[in-house]
Amino acid sequence: MLSMSRWHLAVAGSFVALVLASALHVGASSQKPAPASSPLPTIELKETGAFPLPAHFESADIAAGRVGFDKILKAGFLLFHAEFNGLDGVGSFRRPDSSAVNRFAPAGPRGPGSQGCAECHNKTDPIGFGLENYDRTGAYRTADKDNPQCTISGDGEVAGLGTFNGPAELADLIAASGNLEGCLVTQLYRMALGRRESDGDASTLTTLTNGFKQNGRAFDKLLVEVIADPAFIHRQLEP
């Protein structure tokens, strides 16, 4: 097992935060259970009271940094704990025997058929499984608190990159991908400028990324370079 460091935890934490942000479009609330004798699932399409947030989040606002992490985390908690409803899209939320389907089960015969949930969760859930040895307080665990017989392996996977076990291996996997520096610089640039990058920013992003690599991924130096850039000093709003 690879040892963990602040660097490992920082990279893993940043990656998970981005994953949470990308999942905020998922809908939410209640549905009526299907009768046991019904050959097809009964889906309540009424949307009144279904969406637990005051308003939708715009992906552009998240990418530009106009929505803080605390607000994203709170909204994600409300969304992920809501039940299936008409906002989730067309799907089968009960098995042929009318037994309930776990919202976050893998898509397919035993899991959700709603394209609104499965498309994202089939990519993000395997990452979460690799971090599940740590509970909501960060304490290490080998089994679910309320279900001791449910052991936790801590094995996860990032689609297109490979498998890992725990945050240290996740950080190493991302760092070895060759995409970490460019992704981190781009996200920071968007947050700092309050907008998405344009074609005219390509040269600046390349310079910042190369400098970040040459400085041994020193985040404090990257922050200084970003705020010293003319694009930050003379910020422009998105058209």
- How many residues can be counted in the chain? 239
d(CA 15, CA 202): 23
Beta bridge partners of 165: 155
SS3 state at 80: helix
Average pLDDT over residues 20-30: 40
Average pLDDT over residues 57-83: 80
d(CA 20, CA 121): 11
Average pLDDT over residues 151-173: 93
Q: What is the pLDDT of residue 60?
A: 82
The more confidently predicted of residues 194 and 158 is: 158
Task: Report yes or no: 78 and 55 within 8 Å, Cβ to Cβ.
Answer: no
Most confident range, picked from 6-10, 55-59, 105-109, 135-139: 135-139
SS3 state at 11: helix
Confidence bin at 32 (pLDDT 50/70/90): very low
d(CA 90, CA 119): 13
Domain boundaries, the chain: 6-173, 178-233
- The per-residue pLDDT for range 85-139, each reduced to its tens digit, is 555 554 555 556 666 555 555 545 444 455 556 667 778 889 999 999 998 889 9
Beta-carbon count within 10 A of 2 CB: 13
Beta carbons within 8 Å of 196's beta carbon, 6+ residues apart: 60, 63, 64, 190, 238
- The per-residue pLDDT for range 228-238, each reduced to its tens digit, is 998 888 876 65
Q: What is the pLDDT of residue 168?
A: 94
- Among 24, 26, 88, smallest CA distance to 60 is for 24
* pLDDT for residue 22 is more than 70: no
Q: What is the pTM of this model?
A: 0.52
Q: What is the pLDDT of residue 31?
A: 42
- The per-residue pLDDT for range 173-193, each reduced to its tens digit, is 999 998 999 999 999 999 898
The more confidently predicted of residues 38 and 159 is: 159
Average pLDDT over residues 150-163: 92
Most confident range, picked from 63-67, 115-119, 206-210: 206-210
| pLDDT over 90, % of the chain | 33
